[in-house]
Amino acid sequence: MAKLPRNEDPNLLVGFVNNDDAVIYRLTDDIALVTTADFITPPVNDPYIFGQIAGANAISDVYAMGGRPVTCLNLAAFPIKKLDVGVLHQIIAGALSKVTESGAVLAGGHTIEDDEPKFGLAVTGVVHPKKYWSNSGACPGDVLILTKPIGSGVLFNANIKGWVSEKAMEACIVALTTLNKTAAGIMAGFGIHAATDITGFGLAGHAFEMAKGSNVQLEISTDRVPVMMESLAMYKKGVTTGVNRHNRRLVENKARFEKSFPPWHEEIVFDPQTSGGLLFSLPESQGETALNALQSGGVRDARLIGRVRELKGDMNLIFK
């Protein structure tokens, strides 16, 4: 992204160069805009659930910055000659349910005709210009907390083959349609050093961005990472996604497995997420308390998954 044409502005606190989740733009000394846009192709057939996932996914980037979503705009591409317009209305109704739950308002949007449906939101939120969470403040001595399980990428692919149980698919959809609102709200009570959400680049890719931006090493205990039911089993069966290889290449030479895992087990950290959880770096002294607050506050899959160390050489990421 750093090579794209752009201009500069002293009030742009977080922009292209940071590879962060959303843009932060200072309006006054007390208020900054958080802006982001995201749209996806349908990972499920049900249009309402597609809307919910796409909505939760887009709004998540505001939560990842510690912001509060305020207004949302639909971004839709739709094959109007092939599909009934009622399908589009279902997609928007699904998104609206998540927008409403977030406390924001769906204020408009734009639809174009396209061969394949795509849907997402442009989201505007607010945050204090000195209190937003970036992905680049992790400190040696911190611990890492992840708030949702990973593995949805491989489950969606395996589900096309009919290999995933109904129970596992339902649990996956519950996780993906869950807003990161509760997790972000609880964590606002702690001294967060860095935060991001886990999406297309997988746990490895987004953890790497945090490590690189913070100039530290993240050490992740692979066995402690929450995974979705049947996701590891699908990798063991040989299922993968079209993105795993790319995600692995993104962190090549910067990440290492210290413990030996079977190759299929390693794949889970490269699994691309849609509407994934939040990854937090916070002082070790607050780790257990924060984790308990999350779990008792309804974020039951939250886990402490690792720690932050001084950077040794250029190995940003250790999986052990």
Per CB under 5 A, residues contacting Co ion are 21, 38, 61, 197
Q: Residue 142 or residue 197: which is nearer to Co ion going by CB? A: 197
Query: Which residue is nearest to Co ion, using beta carbons?
Result: 21
Q: Residue 21 or residue 267: which is nearer to Co ion going by CB? A: 21
Quote the least distance from Cβ 29 to Co ion, whole Å. 26
Residue 194, judged by CB atoms within 10 A of its CB (0-12, 13-18, 19+), counts as: buried
Tell me the C-alpha distance between 280 and 116, whole Å. Answer: 35
Quote the least distance from Cβ 85 to Co ion, whole Å. 27
Q: Residue 21 or residue 230: which is nearer to Co ion going by CB? A: 21
Q: Residue 18 or residue 159: which is nearer to Co ion going by CB? A: 18
Count the Cβ atoms, other than its own, within 10 Å of residue 91.
26
Under 8 Å CB-to-CB from 232, ≥6 apart: which residues?
A: 151, 264, 265, 268
Q: Residue 71 or residue 295: which is nearer to Co ion going by CB? A: 71
Q: Residue 38 or residue 271: which is nearer to Co ion going by CB? A: 38
Quote the least distance from Cβ 292 to Co ion, whole Å. 26
Joined together, the tokens standing for residue 21 give 């989740």
CA 234 to chain centre: 22
Q: Which residues of 94-110 are buried (b: 16+ CB within 10 A; e: fewer)?
A: bbbbbbebbebebeebe
Quote the least distance from Cβ 161 to Co ion, whole Å. 28
Quote the least distance from Cβ 239 to Co ion, whole Å. 25
Dihedral through CA 212, CA 214, CA 216, CA 218, nearest 10?
Answer: -80
Quote the least distance from Cβ 277 to Co ion, whole Å. 11
Judge whether 149 and 227 are in contact, CB under 8 Å.
Answer: yes
Q: Residue 21 or residue 271: which is nearer to Co ion going by CB? A: 21
Count the Cβ atoms, other than its own, within 10 Å of residue 140.
13
Under 8 Å CB-to-CB from 203, ≥6 apart: which residues?
A: 146, 150, 220, 225, 268, 269, 270, 271, 273, 279
Judge whether 143 and 304 are in contact, CB under 8 Å.
Answer: yes
Q: Tally the C-alpha atoms within 13 A of residue 300's C-alpha that lie toward its C-beta.
A: 6
Residue linked to tokens 């990472």: 225
Quote the least distance from Cβ 58 to Co ion, whole Å. 7
Quote the least distance from Cβ 11 to Co ion, whole Å. 22
Q: Residue 61 or residue 142: which is nearer to Co ion going by CB? A: 61
